Structure 1
């Protein structure tokens, strides 16, 4: 990952490729460690053990726990942003197709994994993380929210009905975040397919002409792999 927060691309030389691969390995190990132990209890030693490398190599690449956790959050945020923006870019032209794509993206099996959801919950839940989260993720969150609001406004206008697109977008976002939390915190959690159906039922409550529990009416899918 470079200094701008973008996911680093491997350089042409083997040495640079090895460095990029090692940093990627450590970030993935950090995600797994946070998922298992929580934010506050994660240490560089734990990450080194999870990655199967020496503590000194973790220090060499990230220097401090704070920097490692910061870059891990940056990585997760950029991964999430790239996932939903790519889904939106590939969607059909109608607002219903766009909303289907953006909501479905949150349950992509590359994003909706137990370790990643647990790591997100840890970053959200720790008071000491909140300033860092706002600094690193605030603009991405705002972009996502504006996009959902714009799509909902287009759907409300197309249907010729009432409804506040800002509040509808807020409820859709809250539903998605809520089912993510359910999947991590419930004693008997449901899987990603059921979580996605719950989100689409919320969309169907506001836009019944366009959605049912499987997504787009006549075009939805329910074949999401569980995390």
Structure 2
């Protein structure tokens, strides 16, 4: 992973861009900066350098580091939420197909990137972020977990499994979050395919007639 954000390495950006385009550009630059420097060492100046923009322009759009980080967290949370909801909409109607879609959604290359995983880990790991995280992400987390419980309950009934579906949903969620964290902290990170296999192993432990090590059974 790069350890510096040399301004000279960033291509110059066009002077004219819409307010929303600049905002998104700065949020993406913040994600990249957090990935390299961590939460505490991320500054408006570093973000400006990463984006190839002036410090004044960052101030114009976000005013303070705290506002920039809050908006970045909101952006990541909404991106994550839309990702799994879109996956559900595209999935089949069977509960196992929908659960499979939710599992796969976590390893969508569009959101499961080194920079995004690092940013999420930074937000999770900073004690001072926890109130902000709960305020801005708590409802999304509740909706995600409720959907997991609904699907696990339906599969449990369909397959006459003896497990507690709420417990199965919680273990699956913890496994998915743990895989994300492990992908960032291991000296030799494993591939998305191996990460997905780990998640499937968890699903198979609760619902062996629906899931196997490679995903859906049948």
* TM-score (norm: length of structure 1): 0.88
Worse-superposed segment, 160-169 or 116-125: 160-169
In structure 1, C-alpha distance between the alignment counterparts of 2:29 and 2:171, rounded to whole Å: 33
Runs of 5+ unmatched residues, structure 2: 1-14
Deviation at 1:17, TM superposition (A): 5.8
* TM-score (norm: length of structure 2): 0.91
Identify the residue that residue 203 of structure 1 maps to in structure 2: 203
Identify the residue that residue 56 of structure 1 maps to in structure 2: 56
**CA pair 175-26 structure 1, distance change in 2 beyond 3 A:** same
Deviation at 1:217, TM superposition (A): 1.6
In structure 1, C-alpha distance between the alignment counterparts of 2:205 and 2:24, rounded to whole Å: 41
Identify the residue that residue 26 of structure 2 maps to in structure 1: 26
Deviation at 1:209, TM superposition (A): 1.0
In structure 2, C-alpha distance between the alignment counterparts of 1:16 and 1:148, rounded to whole Å: 44
In structure 2, C-alpha distance between the alignment counterparts of 1:207 and 1:215, rounded to whole Å: 11
**CA pair 36-155 structure 1, distance change in 2 beyond 3 A:** same
In structure 2, C-alpha distance between the alignment counterparts of 1:60 and 1:161, rounded to whole Å: 56
Root-mean-square deviation over aligned CA pairs = 1.3
Identify the residue that residue 65 of structure 1 maps to in structure 2: 65
Deviation at 1:212, TM superposition (A): 1.2
SS of residue paired to 1:173:
helix
| Matched ranges for 1:147-166 at <5 A | 147-166=147-166
In structure 1, C-alpha distance between the alignment counterparts of 2:174 and 2:79, rounded to whole Å: 20
In structure 1, C-alpha distance between the alignment counterparts of 2:193 and 2:28, rounded to whole Å: 24
Runs of 5+ unmatched residues, structure 1: 1-14, 219-227
Per-residue CA distance 1:16-41 (angstroms, 9 max, x = gap): 96211111100000000001111111
SS of residue paired to 2:158:
helix
4+ runs deviating over 3 angstroms: none
Say whether residues 1:113 and 2:113 are aligned partners: yes
Deviation at 1:81, TM superposition (A): 0.2
In structure 2, C-alpha distance between the alignment counterparts of 1:133 and 1:163, rounded to whole Å: 31
Identify the residue that residue 35 of structure 1 maps to in structure 2: 35
